[in-house]
Amino acid sequence: MPELPEVETIVRGLATTLPGATIRAVDVLKPDLIEEESAASFARELKGRPIRSVERRAKNIVIDTGGDFLLVNLGMTGRLFLVKEGDPEPTHPGVRIHLADGRELLYHDVRRFGRLWRMSAEAWERWEATLGVEPLSDAFTPKWLHGATRKSRVAIKIWLMDQKRVVGVGNIYASEALFRARVNPRTPADEITRPQAKRIHQGVVDVLAEAIEFRGTTLLDYRDAEGEPGEFVRRLRVYDREGEPCLRCHRTINRIVQGGRSTFFCPHCQK
């Protein structure tokens, strides 16, 4: 569900209010959400720790708990937010993090594809090193993109979604970026030309930046740290628009399946 813009929006929200807080207690309601250790150990180790910072790496929320880290991956339907006075009882609470100041940070997840795990600074560095390039960093350039695509025959849409290559681009923004770039999502990565690589680069950067401005895309479940939906859904040009007219040429948007996921594109504009 959440891709880079949604995770970035959540992180920006939490980063304004969480640092300086202290974890008073942790209740794990769904133990299968915890990676690599028991729920009891997870709760015990977090108890009493400070929250120093909240950042994003790829589609993960990275919380510095005083030298160690708490990572949260939201999977498809995960939410991480501060419970507000008068909120209805959550339907699928997963982990409740009680802060010393009385607030409660809730991890909520209907499908439970999300994961939370603690790691040492060293483990975090090792794991971080296996992730691909941040698309909104200086390391992501048209030249890098063209070079990196030489090594793979997979379809460019699948290629863009592989977090070992470029991070943060998921099923929505992969389709959207390729539409903006006017590149067919089925094109083998190693057949992408330099001009196409330049356009894909621009498409990825532009769509992610704009989606962050609109606080992400809410199709169904996504909510930011304040519980509010994102507004970028109204700006989607191809995703979930099968059968509707292309905004550029007015021909029909198609849906195909790649790697078991839907891809939306305009066969006329994206040759």
Partner DNA sequence: AACGCGCCCTGTCCGC
Partner DNA sequence: TGCGGACAGGGCGCGT
Judged by CB under 7 A, the stretch of 15-23, 61-69, 110-118, 138-146 that binds DNA is: 110-118
d(CA 155, CA 140): 19
| CB of 3 closer than 8 Å to CB of 207 | no
Which of 9, 65, 77, 254 is the binder for DNA (CB under 7 A)? 77
Residue among 83, 114, 97 at smallest CA distance from 221:
114
Judged by CB under 7 A, the stretch of 16-24, 42-50, 70-78, 134-142 that binds DNA is: 70-78
d(CA 14, CA 7): 11
d(CA 199, CA 126): 32
Residue 76 lies near DNA (rule: CB under 7 A): yes
Residue 135 lies near DNA (rule: CB under 7 A): no
Shortest Å distance, C-beta 167 to DNA: 8
DSSP E strand stretches across 74-138 = 78-82, 93-99, 104-109, 115-119
Q: How far is CA 26 from CA 19, 46, 221, in A?
A: 17, 7, 24
Shortest Å distance, C-beta 40 to DNA: 20
Q: For residues 183-222, which are near DNA according to CB under 7 A?
A: 189, 216-222
DSSP 138-157: TT--HHHHHHHHTT--SBHH
Residue 179 lies near DNA (rule: CB under 7 A): no
The DSSP call for residue 271 is -
Residue 91 lies near DNA (rule: CB under 7 A): yes
Residue 20 lies near DNA (rule: CB under 7 A): no
% helix, strand, coil for the chain, step of 5: 30, 25, 45
String of contacts with DNA for each residue 41-60, x by CB under 7 A? -----------------xxx
Q: For residues 138-177, which are near DNA according to CB under 7 A?
A: 151-155, 158, 161, 163, 170-172
d(CA 187, CA 162): 15
What is the set of active-site residues?
Answer: 2-3, 59, 261
Closest CB to DNA among residues 3, 8? 3
Q: Where does this chain bind DNA (CB under 7 A)?
A: 1-3, 6, 32, 58-60, 73, 75-77, 91-92, 110-113, 151-155, 158, 161, 163, 170-172, 189, 216-222, 230, 257, 259-262
